[in-house]
Structure 1
Amino acid sequence: MSSLPAASHSTILEVARDAGVSKTSVSRYLGGERHRLSPAMQARIAAAIQRLGYRPNQMARGLKGGRSKLIGMLVADIRNPFSVTVLHSVEQACRARGFSLLVCNTDNDPDQERNHLALLASYRVEGVVINAAGRPSAELKALAEQGTPIVLLDRSLSDVDADVVGLDNAGAIDMAMDHLLERGYRNVLYVSEPPEGASSRQRRLERFRQRLAQAPELTGETACLAMQRDSDALRQALHGFVSRESPAPRAILCANGNVTLQVAHALNALGVSLGETGLLGIDELDWCALAGPGITTLAQPTEAIGQAAVESLMQRLAPPGRQAPPRRTEYAARLIARGSTHR
């Protein structure tokens, strides 16, 4: 019975010899300075790394050179489809720039969020992308004082000066309301998770109320519920809305993908016919095209948002970028009209 060979631990010097280049060239390849090497040299180094099974010790390199080549990302709920798709885009953008991504899921728990921020600081991450669950201002300020760039994803914090990248929330509500008006709906129920936990929810709710005030032909109401805990309350709110005597065609506007899923389940249990009662959700999910006549959605450009978050960090890592004032980058949603808003 043969034994497995011991794992080899190749060095940069061995990679350089195998590729026929200098040790400095290999260091540049691994350190995010590939643009200083010719394409042919990059290919030789990549082939040597693969042949030798070389794996750089990022922590050791960070301690030696002051750079960890690590980016940290805090996600409020890793099960959220928005978080999954943005995370994928952030990881791809980091990898393309020679960085590795450390991901922490906070489960919308402010205590976990603070603990994870302290952990990322101990790893000497070079930048942090955070989808905030609470208000970790002290921890974020501590990171910023260390010179660590921070980008807030989707949710801003009033007491933290940092770049913000996300959806144009007011524009998304405008797009949704314009579509519902165009399709003939005049009574709208806006369903959201509690807005206190996220600035994006607050902005969407605020804009919905502004639109109601601006359009006398529209009537509306809101239901802000914790979807997982308040399922009974959600069903009661929906039943009251769809069964109430009213000559005005009615529609339901869902603040995010999680809400859309829960509302679709509840409407199905109530036997509500989609289209006659309109349904529109912010966030495009794979199942939306398959449910009933298809659910109309506003798709977020998650790939562009993730790429922009990393690009913002890279600009901040360059010396002039650290002193520039905070920037807000907002992206427009894309309407995908389906049968759920066709009367």
Structure 2
Amino acid sequence: MPATSRSATILEVARDAGVSKTSVSRYYSGERERLSTGMQQRIAHAAERLGYQPNPMARGLKGGPSGLVGMLVADIRNPFSVAVMHGVEQACRRQGLSLMVCNTDNDPTLERQNLALLTSYRIEGLIVNAAGRHGEALAELAGNGLPLVLLDRSLEGIDADEVGLDNDRAIDMALDHLIERGYRRVLFVTELPARASSRQARMARFESSSMSRQLEGEVLSLELNDTAGLDRGLSAFLDAATQQPTAILCGNGQVTLAVIRALQARRVPLGEIGLMGIDELDWCQLVTPGITTLAQPTDAIGQAAVDRLRARQAERTTPEPRHERFTPTLIIRDSTRRPGIDAPHCDETRP
């Protein structure tokens, strides 16, 4: 039966799947594991055929599980946030959940208001990809039993599951690649690290790993909109009297874009001056000569965040928080291909 403009009911899904209304309710209320695999598949196929969409608000009003997962995001314009949000939403949809996203815009007042809003909707779990200035509020939510997952963040005083990139591994992969291409002097450009633990971790690893690899490593940290500061920092690094092959490593996708704009304004040829970024964005392969990146597995990270929430819901005890880290994929393009160096051309991918 094709979907119509009228929403199908839970009873119609039950009849189409040949199961009871209670079974369909269990499928969409966090008790899916009580149903056989075959029954789950029949319900999923029937719901898809009929165009059935569960109503999380109605479920919450009845006193049952709301089916809502909250997500707090620091900056919804950040490409990483958008990509990982897609992974979270896909994972929620597969499990019959609905995602409610609030953007804080790095505003402490808005962050506090959004936390209150999300909890007022009786969310079943909260995924946090924000600065977390209100650690006390988050700690209180976790202490009251709300499943909480920190995404690409660690927050002092909060014992919660964490999911994100293996930052140490990412920096090591980047430096090993640059060394392989013959670069011996590297500038790491990052947003100010104080607001995000992931930035702190990447910068600390860069400083220690560049030293252990005997690279000339320097760090430039600044506000993303400080174009004058970025230009001054790049000028000081690029104009220094040195014969060492030089490269720039960008701490995230937004930094990569800002650095490319600054280099283009200076007419700096990429490749001769190496450029590499953490985060794979659609335009990285389009910018001449193609930008070498470390791609985060954002769909897998989003899935893991939802899985941790569901696992916490099912647990009757409070075991130690679990920290799950993911390895990026190295996508090699010609922005790190030095002239005269025998190396593969663009779009070589390495796990």
How many Å separate the matches in 2 of 1:264 and 1:13? 56
Contact 1:26 1:45 in 2 (8 A): no
Letter of the 1:332 counterpart:
T
Is 1:239 aligned to residue 235 of structure 2? yes
Task: Give the corresponding residue for 2:301.
Answer: 305
Which aligned pairs between 1:210-221 and structure 2 lie closer than 5 A? 210-216=208-214, 218-221=215-218
Of 284, 295, 318 in structure 2, the residue corresponding to residue 288 of structure 1 is 284
* Structure 1 residue matching 2:173: 3-state secondary structure: helix
Task: Please tell me whether residue 227 in structure 1 is matched to residue 227 in structure 2.
Answer: no
One-letter code of the match for 1:191? V
**Deviation by residue 1:236-267 (Cα, 9 ceiling, x = unmatched):** 21122212221111111100000000000100
Q: What secondary structure does 1:184 align onto? A: coil
Residue 258 of structure 2 corresponds to residue 257 of structure 1: no
Contact 2:73 2:104 in 1 (8 A): yes
Classify 1:330/1:43 alpha carbon distance in 2 versus 1 (closer, same or farther; 3 Å): closer
Residue aligning to 1:128:
126
Letter in 2 for 1:221: E
Cα deviation code 1:78-125 (max 9, x no counterpart): 111111111111111111111110011111222222211111111110
How far has the Cα of 1:56 moved from its partner?
4.3
Counterpart amino acid of residue 68 in structure 1: S
SS at match of 1:31: coil
Residues 118 and 139 in structure 1, CA contact (< 8 A), matched pair in contact too: no
Which amino acid counterpart does residue 287 of structure 2 have in structure 1?
A
Mapping 1:34-53, distance limit 5 Å: 36=35, 38=39, 41-42=42-43, 45-46=46-47, 49-50=50-51
Which residue of structure 1 aligns with residue 151 of structure 2? 153
Distance of 2:104 and 2:113 partners within structure 1:
9
Q: Deviations for 1:45-91, whole angstroms, at most 9, x for unmatched residues?
A: 527854xxx65442232242431111001111111111111111111
What residue number does 1:326 align with? Answer: 321
Measure how far apart 1:8 and its partner are: 6.3
Which residue pairs with 1:4 in the alignment?
none
**Secondary structure class of the residue paired with 1:240:** helix
Q: 1:148 to 1:26 in 2, by over 3 A?
A: same
Give 1:3's aligned residue.
Answer: none
In the alignment, the residues of structure 2 paired with residue 208 and residue 13 of structure 1 have an alpha-carbon distance, to the nearest angstrom, of: 58
Segment drifting more, 258-267 vs 79-88: 79-88
Whole-angstrom distance in 2 between the partners of 1:22 and 1:129 = 33
5+ residue gaps, structure 1, are 1-6
SS at match of 1:161: coil
In structure 2, C-alpha distance between the alignment counterparts of 1:265 and 1:129, rounded to whole Å:
33
CA contact (8 A) 1:109 1:133 kept: no
Structure 2 segments unaligned to the other structure (5+ residues): 339-351
Report the alpha carbon displacement of residue 312 of structure 1 after superposing the two structures with TM.
Answer: 0.6
Q: Distance in 2 between matches of 1:20 and 1:332?
A: 43
Alpha-carbon distance between aligned partners in 1 of 2:283 and 2:22, rounded to the nearest angstrom: 51
1:245 to 1:49, Cα distance in 2 relative to 1, 3 A: same
Taking the aligned partners of 2:228 and 2:223, their CA distance within structure 1 comes to: 11
Alpha-carbon distance in 1 for matches of 2:88, 2:119: 19
Task: Using the TM superposition, name which of 135-144 and 154-163 deviates more.
Answer: 135-144
Cα 1:274–1:42 change in 2 (3 A) is: same
> Relative to structure 2, which stretch is displaced further, 10-19 or 322-331?
10-19
Paired amino acid for 2:89: E
Counterparts of 2:64 and 2:21 in 1: how far apart (Å)? 19
Q: Output the amino acid matched with 2:289.
A: P
Cα distance in 2 for partners of 1:299, 1:20 equals 44
Q: Which has the larger radius of gyration?
A: 1
Aligned length: 331
> Residues 142 and 39 of structure 1: is their aligned pair in 2 closer, same or farther, counting only changes over 3 Å?
closer
Kept in 2, the 8 Å contact 1:15–1:26? The answer is yes
Secondary structure, aligned partner of 1:323: coil
1:1-343 matches, within 5 Å, as 12-13=10-11, 21-33=19-31, 36=35, 38=39, 41-42=42-43, 45-46=46-47, 49-50=50-51, 56-216=54-214, 218-228=215-225, 230-320=226-316, 322-343=317-338
CA distance in 1: counterparts of 2:40 and 2:55, whole angstroms: 24
Post-superposition Cα deviations, 1:141-190, rounded to whole Å, max 9, x if no partner, equal 22113311100000111210000000010111111111111111111111
What is the TM-score of this pair, normalised by structure 2?
0.87
Distance 1:43 1:123 in 2: 26
> Kindly, what percent of the aligned residue pairs are identical?
59
| CA 1:10–1:267: 2 relative to 1, 3 Å | closer
Query: Does structure 2 retain, via aligned residues, the 8 Å contact 1:34–1:42?
Result: no
Alignment RMSD (CA, Å): 2.2
Aligned-partner Cα distance in 2 for 1:112–1:73: 14
State the distance in 2 between where 1:163 and 1:55 align: 30
d(CA) in 1 for partners of 2:177, 2:217: 15
* Structure 1 residues 205 and 312: alpha-carbon distance in aligned structure 2, compared to 1, 3 A threshold: same
Q: Distance in 2 between matches of 1:149 and 1:277?
A: 46
